[in-house]
Structure 1
Amino acid sequence: MMAAVRRVPVVVILGATGTGKSKLSIELGQHFNGEIISADSMQMYKGLDIITNKVTKEEQAQCPHHLLSVLSPLSMNNTVQDFRTLALPIMENLLHENKMAIIVGGTNYYIEALLWNFLIDEQTVGLVQQSSTNTKPELQSCGMQENHAAAGPGKARSAYSSDTNAASERVLSSPESSESDSQNNEDESASLNAGSGAAASDSFSVSAEHSSTEDRERDGGKTSQVQSSEARREKEGKYAGMDIIHLHSLLQEVDPQSAERLHPKNRRKIVRALQVFDNYGVAMSKIHQAQHISGNTTGLSGALRYPHCCIFWLQSEQNVLYERLDKRVDDMLKNGLMSELHDLHKHYLDSIAAQNGSPDYTLGIFQSIGFKEFHQYLILPPEKRETEEGKALFQQGLEGLKLATRQYARKQLKWIKNRFLKRPGVHVPAVYSLDSTDPSQWSDNVLQPAVDIISALLDSREIPVSPMNPDTLPGTLHVHNVCEVCDGRVFTTLDQWQAHLGSRRHKKMQESKRRKEKAAGLAQPTPDKNESKCVQ
């Protein structure tokens, strides 16, 4: 009797830069005869091995790697959809050959795009359109205009939005991540690197698809705000210059569910939802509903694309990680980082000059951490680089680079917690924590536990290690609450709402309101209606 073919799991390795993700992926690939899929937006560019901190040629020879060095460094429009289009056939081929696919990289949003079906595509749009009838009320209930009912996605685009900027014609995606209590709309799909020589090899990068222009302006002081503003206007198309209140009211008209779900100050996602409606003639919320129905789930992103999957989260103590980050920057400088940056900058300027264009440092590889921090130094004439001004700008870039790596490491951790551990629904793989703080204990604390877990999955045995419990973390249940005490501030997730009610600012505003009411002669101050309020 033939032995049953073992089900090979899809393995995902997460972690802040410098925790050892690439090291673990190579070791697991060798042990289980697997292959590695790099999910790093900046490592997809050819060359630039130092700035993106790719695994070395020798390391690549130890285990097959995919999606490294596949784009021109001057390519500016690579998106998460492009990555998914390239990665999915590789995944399918590996699974067909019963080989283990090991997904590793710092662009966590790319990893999400492989694990879950949340990117909007024309097939899903077609399902929504087919489910609609030609009666106007029903069409309006799903956000579709009557004259778009019989149109395909292309016709719907031209019928509704012929004047929409071409930049908005891209397929758009919108997983609805939560806002912080301070209302900062920060994208955390940033990836950067650090670590010892044996640690992870991530790129110092910001995801080209998922990093908003507003974030680049905030991160930057090093890139031109004028250029960033121009890029934002181009990306927003006809919505550029519109007041955020007006944009939110437009969204309420065409897609009330998304309008309630998104924070009214989240300009980027509001514009994106409007552009989805412009492009396809259907509400983004209805497209998401169709994805959930097709996957028989109500979770954030529908069913898992690969149900037989496990996730490893490598973690290191913060002080140890920060030391690795600083050492990594020093090592990169010794290995020729500045020469690589100079060569890229000159190559780019020569290319732009040949096209009679003007440089734009807000796109593609120029978003990478390293280039931004040294930008002012790089644009100095060569004869000024050894002057006091040049030395000061170099030191400023070096300090900025080390600071940026720490900031983005924190963002990576926040993204993992919010988008993997706290992801609602049942279609979330088990996440196993591995402690990579002490390199001398790597085998006992990281490699062997990972091997044991995968071996148990292969043999359909009980997993010897308990996964992390998502219930121990605050939930991200979507709600829509308005704080009447704090001038109508809006909160769109339950954990933010509860944190706000307990915050010093809210309590201070509450006490101030009560004092004013008492001074005005009210015998009974108005109770705080927010205490028991929670609108889902």
Structure 2
Amino acid sequence: MMALRSVISSKIPMVIILGATGTGKTKLSIELAQRFETEIISADSMQIYKGLDIVTAKASLTERELVTHHLLNILEPHQNFTVVDFRNRALEIINNLTAQEKIPIVAGGTVYYIESIVYKILVEDMDDTNALLWEKSKRKRDFNDIDTKEEFKKKALDCEDHEHAKFDCAVVREMYDDNGGLNRDKLLEDIDNEAQFTNQEIHDRLRVVDPVMASRLHPNNRRKVLRSIEVWLKSGRRHSEVLDEQKTSEGLLRRPGATIILWLTCDKEVHEVRLDSRVDDMLQAGLIEELLAFHEAHNKHRIKDGTLPDYTKGVFQTLGFKEFHEYLMMSVEEKQSEAGKKLLQESILNMKLATKRFARRQNKMVRGRFLENSRREVPPIYQLDTTNLDEWDEVVKNKAIHIIEAFMKNETCQFEPLKPQSQQDEASIDSHSSNFCEVCKRLIVGDKEYAIHLLSNRHKKVLKKHLSGKIPDKNEGTDV
């Protein structure tokens, strides 16, 4: 097995195909892989799981027979998979392909997966790239080399003095055994069984381990809170310290001068019509049947046991589950009733709306993480317009082939990459600050977000009630 840290060949470009859902990433990746006789690495956080081929829009069996696909259908639905897991596995495949003088083609819409192989922004490592970080972390943690009991007690005191922390200091006390020593297994046990804890209770555990990171993350951002605890469990280092160190190197490319990004875009109105048709095509292909079967096999028993459906982790984040939840929970008779048919149509509409929102977020993230990030080097990013499918060969496929061949032959490319856009100095905005709105009784993470909140209609409405002497409802203003 080639070592993970081995130098990637600079003679072979790593080609990244990214873009919002429904822009043609799968089609182009297969065409390029066939043209250059190479293989595809999927960078889609949902396609990595087995099942749900329709709703996650995986390459068809026929397409997979034409071209070898990596990191597709490799996990069971219950398994946790992190960006570090993706990075470790993807880099090994990239190394192997370039060693064979094959172009690694990475295609997918999960931008933070793409970032992890384009930039040096993650420091966690693992000898066994086939192992999952969450599972390995439980065996790699060395509790003896870090915080003393006195340090934990000081954290408890600091948190008790914080008016809005809502920190249960019993969490700190539970970290010790009857003899006053650190209870080594307590946090591991809690995290292994994290489903039984509320967002705030999980956040309290992060505050014990890494109070700085806890101040940067809202309790409702459960996935990232768990991720930060995971970093500490595996490495013995606070995630906040790791991220602070990365600021000096996060803009460095892994493969300077040997990375090409092809960004597929589409006219907004045309794209939204195409996305609606995409959902309709999924329905024709058996989307409802696929969701029902998957729900029966992997989700129904959890709900019967009293576990609330969690659509924030793993494959259950897939567009469709949350939108169809109420319909999936109906009996066969209820589904066939007028109310059931009406709910089905509402679910379909909700999925179409959610898909469009997701596509907009993907495009915004591409711009924000690549073109508008002043702290980073930017590899050449070529925009390919997929609006007119009748012109696909000319303006998408052939253009992409020319870009890649020009690089490999060291010739001048006739197309210009996009120019990075200068933004406001990011140092002037603290994206990690914790702000508590006394009016709305809400914790807002980030100065920019707090400024937006103060101008929001919700805040103004609650403020008006305060000024008029009315006490707002206890739940008002608590949305995140």
Q: 1:161 to 1:438 in 2, by over 3 A?
A: farther
Instruction: Give 1:287's aligned residue.
Output: 242
| 1:316 corresponds to 2:280 | no
**Secondary structure at 2:358 match in 1:** helix
CA contact (8 A) 2:17 2:108 kept: yes
What residue identity is the alignment partner of 2:104?
A: A
Q: Does 1:303 align with 2:258?
A: no
Q: Against the structure 1 CA distance between its residues 270 and 328, is the aligned structure 2 distance closer, same or farther, given a 3 Å change threshold?
A: closer
**Superposed, which structure 2 residues align to 1:346-361 within 5 Å?**
346-348=296-298, 357-358=305-306, 361=309
- Measured against aligned partners, the alpha-carbon deviations of 1:2-37 in whole angstroms (never above 9, x if no partner) come to xxx981100001111111111111111122222110
Aligned to 2:118: 115
Q: Is the 8 A contact 1:168 1:235 kept in 2?
A: no
CA spacing shift, 1:120–1:478, aligned 2, 3 Å = farther
C-alpha separation in 2, matches of 1:259 and 1:341: 36
What is the DSSP-based 3-state SS (H/G/I as helix, E as strand, rest coil) of the residue aligned with 1:13? strand
SS of residue matched to 1:389:
helix
1:158-169 to structure 2, matched below 5 A, reads 162-166=185-189, 168=191
CA positional deviation for 1:46 = 2.3
Report the secondary structure of 2:429's partner residue.
strand
Which amino acid is the alignment partner of residue 70 of structure 1?
Answer: I
Determine whether 1:64 maps to 2:68.
Answer: yes
State whether structure 2 residue 434 is matched by structure 1 residue 479: no
Measured against aligned partners, the alpha-carbon deviations of 1:132-183 in whole angstroms (never above 9, x if no partner) come to: x99x9xx9xxx9xxxxxxxxxxxxxx9686432446589xxxxxxxxxxxxx
Once the two structures are overlaid, the 10-residue window that deviates more, 450-459 or 468-477, is 468-477
1:27 aligns with 2:50: no
The structure-2 alpha-carbon separation of the partners of 1:321 and 1:304, relative to structure 1 and needing over 3 Å to count, comes to: same
Which whole-Å CA distance do the structure 1 matches of 2:82 and 2:203 have between them? 25
Q: Secondary structure of the equivalent of 2:336?
A: coil
Tell me by how many angstroms 1:409 deviates: 0.7
Deviation at 1:349, TM superposition (A): 5.7
Normalising by structure 1, we get a TM-score of: 0.63
Instruction: Go from structure 1 to structure 2 and tell me whether the alpha carbon gap of 1:480 and 1:398 turns closer, same or farther (over 3 Å shift).
Output: closer
Kept after mapping to 2: 8 A contact 1:21/1:104:
yes
Q: Per the alignment, do residues 475 and 443 of structure 1 end up closer, same or farther by CA in structure 2, a change over 3 Å counting?
A: farther
Residue of structure 2 in register with 1:16 after alignment:
20
Distance 2:306 2:38 in 1: 45
| 1:85 aligned residue | 88
Tell me the SS of whatever aligns to 1:164: helix
Q: Aligned AA for 1:79?
A: T
Distance 2:10 2:317 in 1: 43
Distance across 2 between alignment mates of 1:108 and 1:22? 16
Equivalent in the alignment of 2:197: 233
Q: Give the C-alpha shift of residue 447 in structure 1.
A: 1.7
Residues 168/305 of structure 1: CA separation in 2 closer, same or farther (3 Å cut) = farther
CA shift for structure 1 position 286: 3.4
Provide the rounded CA distance (Å) in 2 between the counterparts of 1:270 and 1:348. Answer: 25
Task: Give the secondary-structure state (helix, strand or coil) at the position aligned to 2:430.
Answer: strand
Q: How far 1:270 moved relative to its partner?
A: 6.7
Q: TM-score, normalised by structure 2?
A: 0.70
Pairing of 1:115-514 with structure 2 (within 5 A) = 115-121=118-124, 162-166=185-189, 168=191, 231=195, 233=197, 239-240=201-202, 242=204, 262=216, 273=228, 276=231, 280-288=235-243, 290-291=245-246, 298-299=248-249, 301=250, 303-307=252-256, 308-348=258-298, 357-358=305-306, 361-362=309-310, 363-472=313-422, 476-477=426-427, 479-480=429-430, 492=446, 496=448
Letter in 1 for 2:292: H
**Aligned-residue CA RMSD (Å):** 4.4
Amino acid at match of 2:66: Q
**Is contact 2:253-2:377 (8 Å) kept?**
yes
Deviation by residue 1:31-77 (Cα, 9 ceiling, x = unmatched)? 222211011122122232212111112222332211222223x3342
Which amino acid counterpart does residue 233 of structure 1 have in structure 2?
A: F
Sort the Cα spacing of 1:326 and 1:450 in 2 relative to 1 into closer, same or farther, 3 A. Answer: same
1:99 corresponds in structure 2 to 102
Q: Which amino acid aligns with 1:60?
A: R
- Provide structure 1 residue ranges, at least 5 long, that are not aligned to the other structure: 125-132, 144-157, 171-229, 293-297, 513-536
Change (3 A) 1:232 1:23: farther
Structure 2: how far apart are the matches of 1:320 and 1:475? Answer: 34
1:304-339 Cα deviation digits (max 9, x unpaired)? 223310111111111000000110111111111111
CA distance in 2 between partners of 1:371 and 1:267 (Å):
19
Task: Compute the displacement of 1:110 (Å).
Answer: 1.6
CA deviations 1:359-409 (Å, max 9, x no partner) are 553143222111221111111111221111211111111111111111111
Instruction: Report the Cα distance in structure 2 between the residues aligned to 1:122 and 1:444, rounded to whole angstroms.
Output: 42
SS of corresponding position for 1:443: helix
- Give the match for residue 58 of structure 2: 54
Residues 306 and 340 of structure 1: CA distance in aligned 2, closer, same or farther (over 3 Å)? same
Q: Give 1:394's aligned amino acid.
A: L
1:491 to partner: Cα distance: 8.1
Q: CA deviation at 1:463?
A: 3.1
SS at match of 1:374: helix
Cα distance 1:457–1:474, how it changes in 2: closer, same or farther (>3 A)? farther
CA distance in 2, matches of 1:461, 1:366: 46
